[in-house]
Amino acid sequence: MSYVHHVRAFHGLPVYTFPPCADPADLPDAGSVAWRLSCGQYMSDDDATTRWQRFTETVELEKVRAVVLGHPWYGWDCGGGDRYLIDARERLTALEAVFLGDLEDEESMISTIGLHDLAPLLEAFPGLRELAVRGGEDLDFPVTGHQELRSLRVESGGLPPEAAEHIAAAELPSLERLELWLGDDWYGGGTTVEQLAPLLAGQGKPALRHLGLQNSPVQDELAAALASAPVVSQLRTLKLSMGVLSDTGAEALLHGQPLTGLDELDLSHHFLSHAMMLRLWKALEPAGVRVDLSGRSEPDEDDDEEDGDGRYIAVSE
């Protein structure tokens, strides 16, 4: 199963790729789509500049609600595409959503999609409601707060622990949805449960209803922490998918605080026994909790990592 693909819809809008040449009369209304800008994997920064200039001259920027940036704005050894948005902030007055790094594996491995400090983007757009980023290399989030952000999603094979720690501590009073692919320390990850402590304690994000702590090699430890974490009581959806969850983590969830207040518990891509899967289903499905137990995996018998047990996360390189 591929977890990394071009987005087809974003911020409730269909994604429309801005064409290299087109009659303005043939383009959709500026506010009716999420505009995807991509020149293909073999194009240069000069091509990006030319494409962006055509976009700003052809589309009514004042009506644009969502922008998705692909290559060459993002890719290997580049990650400053949001400066185009920041420079145009006086015209992008309706911008509500941004996706940075919309690349597939054929264009760039997720571990080599360069990002950077996201604070300038959030400062430039105080009305931003949704931010999604793919990558992780050099990513940081030194943001103490943002009043309007409703959704934050970071897709990464290795989310820098400092960035995860900053996100966990940020004051985001309107945030309803948070998804973090924590990733492998081999690719720059390594976030610990302790670094997520403010998030788990329910601090700074009173509107949070959907939480994903995913794609982690410490999924059992996260499950154990969430078994007693105050944040769970405010959630409707909890995702512990894409990681190395075993019976140990599932046992902690079953013996922790009640999860019957959830609408959905997503544990897909896991290493649970069939017996444990049945126990989870019997404990939660009758209470109305949708439990996603798809993607059961077996440990890799050829794993030669020191201290490795053959379990693996869904997305790394």
Q: Residues 166-187: pLDDT tens digits?
A: 999 999 999 999 999 999 999 9
pLDDT tens-digit map of 241-294: 999 999 999 999 999 999 999 999 999 999 999 999 999 999 999 999 999 999
Q: What does each C-alpha distance from 205 to 165, 171, 182, 231 come to in angstroms?
A: 14, 6, 19, 9
Whole-number CA gyration radius for the chain: 20
Report the number of distinct structural domains present in the chain: 1
Q: Residue 51 falls within a domain, yes or no?
A: yes
Instruction: Identify the residue whose tokens are 């199963």.
Output: 1
What region, left, alpha or beta, does residue 37 occupy, with left being phi > 0 and alpha being psi -120 to 50 degrees? beta
**For position 46, what pLDDT does the model report?**
60
* Residue-level pLDDT at 205: 97
Domain-located, residue 227? no
Is position 306 within any domain?
A: no
Instruction: For the sheet with 9-10, list strands across it.
Output: 9-10, 13-17, 34-37, 66-69, 97-100, 130-134, 151-155, 177-181, 210-214, 237-239, 264-266, 290-292
- With a cut of 70, which residues of the chain have pLDDT below it? 1, 40-46, 75-79, 302-308
Give the H/E segment covering residue 15: strand 13-17
* Domain interval for residue 40: 1-136
The reply to whether 37 falls in a domain is yes
36 in a domain, yes or no? yes
The pair phi, psi for residue 153, each rounded to 5°, is -135, 125
Contact 175, 309 (CB under 8 A): no
pLDDT (0 to 100) of residue 197? 98
Is position 71 within any domain?
Answer: yes
Q: Is residue 165 part of a domain?
A: no
Amino acid at 202: G
Angle at which helix 247-255 crosses helix 219-226, to 10 degrees, equals 0
Q: Which of 101, 108, 102 is nearest to 41 (CA)?
A: 108
pTM: 0.94
In a domain, 45, yes or no: yes
